[in-house]
Homo-oligomer: A and B are copies of this chain.
Amino acid sequence: MFVILVYDANEKRVQKFHKACKKYLTWVQNSVFEGEITDAALRLLKDELKEIMDDKEDSILIYKFRTKKYYERESIGVKKPSHEDMFF
């Protein structure tokens, strides 16, 4: 399936979220990732994120599609996150 994953995490955990998502999906912008993923891999990713997250503070939203259905992705403003140096 194709997924779009958006997280909203406390700054302390943002780097961990980013690292976990990057193992399975393609980074799009800030806290948004997307990509083709199997059910099994998505389960693994969710398990990793649940380990990292504080469910009183953080949230994850996953949109699931049978195939890559969007016809356009438009990006306005900053293309790279301000904390890029943390990751690369």
Known: A6-B31, A62-B73. 18 other contacts (CB 8 A): A6-B6, A6-B29, A8-B29, A8-B30, A29-B61, A30-B61, A50-B76, A53-B76, A58-B77, A59-B77, A60-B77, A61-B74, A61-B75, A64-B71, A64-B73, A65-B71, A69-B69, A69-B70
Q: Please, how many residues of chain A have a CB less than 8 angstroms from a CB on the other chain?
A: 37
Taken together, the copies of this chain in the complex come to 2
A74 to chain B, nearest CB (A): 4
A-B CB contact pairs (8 Å), 22 listed: A4-B63, A6-B6, A6-B30, A6-B32, A28-B61, A46-B76, A50-B76, A53-B76, A53-B77, A57-B82, A58-B77, A59-B75, A59-B76, A60-B75, A60-B77, A61-B74, A61-B75, A62-B75, A63-B70, A64-B72, A64-B73, A69-B69
